[in-house]
Amino acid sequence: MITKMCRFNLVLVLSLCLSLCLFPDTISAQLKQNYYATICPSVNVENVVRGVVRTKFQQTFVTVPATLRLFFHDCFVQGCDASVIIASTPNNKAEKDHPDNLSLAGDGFDTVIKAKAAIEATSCKNKVSCADILAMATRDVIALSGGPSYAVELGRLDGLSSTASSVNGKLPQPNFNLNQLNSMFAANGLTQQDMIALSAAHTVGFSHCGKMSNRIYNFTRQNPVDPTLDPTYAKQLQAFITGMTKLGRVGVKTGRNGNIRRDCGAFN
């Protein structure tokens, strides 16, 4: 039973990766592989992050879907700038406290925060962004869950704003009809085919029961499977490395548009 569940979870993880292949490259910011080899030549930053992620993964498999969903929710709202990790204050309700983000598992946040702390304990202090850490951690959970490892582009800065209101209208809702979904994804340069793949991404993670109860209880013994599910979808697991790279380029902050946070959960 456990083996079947693990295989099922892996298929869902890879499904998310496939869906990201279809995401458009919307920025021109210059990211590059092995970025920190120049910034911090005395510290293997990617190995430090990988070690933290591996430890977290060994503690709970939830680390995989939690980190993947955190990356998607971060990039899809204001770009890949770790703004979803910012904690709310008495004067500001942050992205993470928007209703659409309440189902993001804490293990994803914890992974990034612990990786940041590990890096800050080295000579590379104040040089690695939380946004880059999340991108590296996402790559690592894919590899640890049975998927391939890949070179991740780095050089992002952390965002300077995070508001719950910025999430409004940026993430697909479970009760959207086809026209609403088409319109939302088209506004981001995505086709209906892209939409179908990306809409399935959340199956790897968690959501509140209220988001899906109307679907769960509508099935019978004669019709036990969601009739809207394409049975060939799971077979379309290919070229996801390119897709992950494209997603990681969305809305990247550079120059005065961002900085490197000392604390991933708070602005400097």
Residue 74, annotated as binding a ligand: yes
193 CB-contact burial (10 Å; exposed 0-12 / middle 13-18 / buried 19+): exposed
The answer to whether residues 23 and 194 touch, using CB atoms and an 8 Å cutoff, is yes
Residues whose CB falls within 8 Å of the CB of residue 83, separated by 6 or more in sequence, listed in order: 74, 77, 94, 95, 158, 159, 161, 162, 166
Residue 172, annotated as binding a ligand: yes
Residue 265, annotated as binding a ligand: no
Q: Is 73 a catalytic residue?
A: yes
DSSP-assigned beta bridge partners for residue 253: 157
Residue 132, annotated as binding a ligand: no
- CA 140 to each of CA 224, 243, 260: distance values in angstroms, whole numbers, following the listed order: 35, 15, 21
The residue among 251, 40, 37 whose CA lies nearest residue 126 is 40
Residue 83, annotated as binding a ligand: yes
Helix axes 192-199, 178-186, angle to 10 degrees: 100
Distance CA 79, CA 29 (A): 12
The token duo for 137 is 């951690």
Q: How far is CA 150 from the centre of its chain?
A: 16
End-to-end CA distance of the chain: 47
Residues whose CB falls within 8 Å of the CB of residue 117, separated by 6 or more in sequence, listed in order: none
- Altogether, the residues listed in the chain come to a count of 268
Residue 203, annotated as binding a ligand: yes
Residue 220, annotated as binding a ligand: no
Q: How far is CA 167 from the centre of its chain?
A: 15
Which residue among the candidates 73, 96, 98, 249 is catalytic per the annotation? 73
Residue 95, annotated as binding a ligand: yes
Residue 90, annotated as binding a ligand: no
Binding residues for Ca(2+): 74, 77, 79, 81, 83, 95, 203
Q: Would you name the residues annotated as active-site residues?
A: 73
User: Per the annotation, where are the binding residues?
Assistant: 74, 77, 79, 81, 83, 95, 172, 202-203
Q: Which residues are annotated as a binding site for substrate?
A: 172
